[in-house]
Chain A
Amino acid sequence: MIRPIIFATALLSSASCTTAFAPAATAVTTQQQRTSSSPITSLTPLKMSDSPDTPTQLKIQSLVDDNPVLLFMKGSKLFPQCGFSNTACQILQSYNIDFETVDVLADEQIRQGVKDFSQWPTIPQLYVCGEFVGGSDIMIEMYQSGELGEMIEKAKADMV
């Protein structure tokens, strides 16, 4: 379950905003720690069906590293092809932020790969500053609580 060091270093060397959410990053970062935004790590991990160093996993890692606000979704911002992905897009658009999207319908390997990568079974999936935030239900919850807004503001500040 432990991801190789290369991922930890990739995280540390990417956009500076990663430090905002991972102040206690150590040399070796496990998948659980990486995808969790809180220090409590009492999760039962889902089984990974894909090795972390396949080309698809590396590609996803680089997408996540290169884009401060990244949404894996079905369809595009202009033409979301799923109600949940549409909700996710609308929430992000409400922050007036320049976010990137990846259409999983256009690439079957990414579609399955991102589920393995995040250990999360559904689409959409949001990453902010390299951290997995969650799917559309969690986005709605964090949008309503204001938590997502704070997270996006931090990402925005680092984008300039």
Chain B
Amino acid sequence: MSLTDAAFEAEPVHAEVVHGKGPWQLAWERLRRDKAAVISMAVIVLVALLALLAPLFALITGHDPLTQYPETALTPEGLPVGPGADFWLGADSLGRDLFVRLAYGARISLLVGLSATLLATVFGVVVGLLAGYYGGWVDGVLARVLDVVLSFPYLLVAIVLVAAVGASVALTIFVIAFFSFAAMARVVRGQTIGYREREFTEAVRSLGASPLRIMVIDVLPNLVAPVTVLASLLIPTSIVFEATLSFLGLGVDPRTPSWGAILADSTDFYRVAPGLLVFPAVLLLLTTLAFNLLGDGIRDALDPKR
């Protein structure tokens, strides 16, 4: 084929633009064909609606999540009432509305899960990119520190911190974000080291492109896949961790409706009111399972070879 190909010269330049299907578009199409991922997305949307509409449910039922309703919620023997028209999922041992509390609990779970993951992703990507791209002794020290951080269990660090500064939502988010950050930074750093030496980064570097431009325009788009997969798996981990801390009484204020705290409250009463255990347990399990399934689906969609 010669360079003055007559066919192209004859072709009018304003012909219809041919749009290629990008890797994201293809991944989205694959994800949409994945039944488990679609169902998971539906579950996540429902949980998000539950959280968003929590005040609405409080309004409809007329039950505040923190208020006790001993007259209507407890039987004459002092036991919580079961599910019904007034208390949709029943009441807890103190006479509070379980459904309304679970809806408000969804807010805590999603708040912690999403904000910790977002923080971890932003910082992890920035630090991982810089360390991986520039290398050198800073990178060596950082890699070592991340190894050490990741070798300590979340819970041990959380316990010590709670003992030192007291439990709070902010502390919970900080601990989760810190550990997730380490995992994220390690992955991004490793990937960046790989891309730094690729020919397409050399191509722009030989043109005199700035390191910032190379990191943002040339390396970052290639990291979206692994970062998305890791982030989508960090969300359920964070949710479980928040619930665990609250269950142990180390997370949010014990009166705050959080799924972990609700489950902790149920332990003395589920023999008489199994709903207290079953409803929050199922909700928590469904949420984390949905996020995990979606994460797996995203990974398969982005990397169909696996």
Is B truly associated with A?
no
Chain A interface (Cβ < 8 Å from any Cβ of B)? none
Chain B interface (Cβ < 8 Å from any Cβ of A)? none
